[in-house]
C-alpha cells in the first residue's frame, strides 16, 4: 500500500484526551536510566514518589498520540525517528489531564531507497483552563515508503554545534534490558523487542527507542548543567543520526553558551554519533 499523500497532508485531530499519573512519570524515568545509581540521591525524586516525583521534561514526547498514522499506507514497523523538538511553556506536573491537537505539517518523498519523511506537530493543553503546556514536532522516516511521487526533500537549517572542545562530558550506560522496560511507557513497536522483527528491518538486534535516547540526553543535561532542576529546561531539540543498542554507553558532549546548551551523543565503542545538533534551551 502506497502513502496516501493528500489524506496525510489534510489529516488533523483535535481534543484527544491524554492523561498520566505518578506511576507513568516514575516508569519513564526508570526507563531512561534514572535511579540506576542507588548512591545518587539527586536522582531519587525522579523515581521515588515520596520525594517527588519530578517529571523529566522529555516525558512530554510520550504524550504524543500513536494512532495518527493508522490508515496512512505506511509500513509502521519500518518507521524510525529522525528529529524531535520540544517547547515547554511550563514544567510538566507529576500527573495531569490534557487535550492534544495534532496535525501533519509535511510529507517528503526521499526516493524509493531512502523512504518518506513525515512531520507531525502536537500541541498539549491542560484540561479545564485550556492552558497550553507544550508543543512537540516529530519528524519520522518511513523507510519502506519512499517513491510515492511526493515533493522532494528541502534544505533544512540545523543547530550548529560550537567549534571548540566540549565544556562538559557525561557518560551514561544503558542496560541490556532497557528497551524492554522503556516500551512499557507506551512505544510498543516490536522493532525494540523482537529479534526477528529487528532482523527483518535490517538490524542485528532490537534497537533502543529513539525517545529513550532522547531521555538519556536530557538526563545528561539535567545531571551536568541543571543540578537536576527539571524546571530549568524549556526546550529540547535533537536529530537522531544512528541507532543505540541496549547495553551501549552513551557519551553526551555539551557546550553551554548562556541559556543554550548545545550537545551531541556518541557511542564511542562503535565510533558513531547517535544524536547530533542537539539544542537545550534553559529558562532565562
The region that residue 228 occupies, defined by phi over 0 for left and psi between -120 and 50 for alpha, beta otherwise, is left
SS3 222: helix
- In whole angstroms, give the CA distance from residue 269 to residue 133: 38
- Tell me the chain's radius of gyration from C-alpha atoms: 18
Grid cell, residue 279, equals 539544542
CA 53, 59, 64, 69 dihedral sign is: negative
Grid cell, residue 236, equals 529540547
Smallest Cα–Cα separation from 222: which of 242, 197, 249, 252?
252
Contact 116, 108 (CB under 8 A): yes
Cα torsion 66, 283, 258, 52 to 10°: value is -80
User: Catalytic residues, which ones?
Assistant: 187, 192
Amino acid at each position: 500500500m502506497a502513502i496516501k499523500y493528500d489524506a496525510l497532508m489534510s489529516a488533523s485531530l483535535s481534543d484527544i484526551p491524554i492523561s498520566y499519573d505518578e506511576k507513568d512519570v516514575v516508569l519513564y524515568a526508570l526507563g531512561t536510566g534514572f535511579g540506576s545509581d542507588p548512591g545518587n540521591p539527586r536522582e531519587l525524586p525522579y523515581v521515588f514518589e515520596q520525594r517527588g516525583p519530578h517529571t523529566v521534561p522529555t516525558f512530554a514526547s510520550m504524550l504524543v498520540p500513536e494512532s495518527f498514522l493508522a490508515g496512512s499506507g505506511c509500513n509502521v514497523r519500518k518507521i524510525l525517528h529522525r528529529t524531535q523538538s520540544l517547547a515547554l511553556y511550563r514544567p510538566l506536573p507529576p500527573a495531569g489531564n490534557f487535550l492534544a491537537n495534532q496535525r501533519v505539517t509535511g510529507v517528503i518523498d526521499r526516493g524509493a531507497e531512502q523512504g518518506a519523511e513525515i512531520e507531525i506537530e502536537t500541541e498539549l493543553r491542560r484540561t479545564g483552563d485550556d492552558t497550553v503546556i507544550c508543543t512537540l514536532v516529530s519528524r519520522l522516516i518511513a523507510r519502506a515508503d519512499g517513491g510515492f511521487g511526493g515533493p522532494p526533500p528541502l534544505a533544512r537549517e540545523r543547530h550548529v554545534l560550537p567549534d571548540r572542545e566540549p565544556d562538559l562530558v557525561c557518560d551514561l550506560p544503558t542496560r541490556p534490558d532497557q528497551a524492554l522496560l522503556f516500551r512499557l511507557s507506551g512505544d510498543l513497536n516490536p522493532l525494540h523487542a523482537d529479534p526477528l522483527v529487528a532482523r527483518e528491518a535490517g538490524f542485528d538486534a532490537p534497537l533502543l527507542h529513539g525517545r529513550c535516547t532522547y531521555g538519556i540526553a536530557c538526563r545528561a543535561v539535567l545531571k551536568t548543567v541543571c543540578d537536576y532542576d527539571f524546571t530549568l529546561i524549556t526546550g529540547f531539540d535533537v536529530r537522531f543520526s544512528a541507532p543505540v543498542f541496549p547495553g551501549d554507553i552513551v557519551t553526551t558532549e555539551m557546550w553551554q553558551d548562556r541559556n543554550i546548551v548545545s550537545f551531541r551523543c556518541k557511542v564511542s565503542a562503535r565510533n558513531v554519533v547517535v544524536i547530533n545538533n542537539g539544542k537545550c534551551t534553559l529558562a532565562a
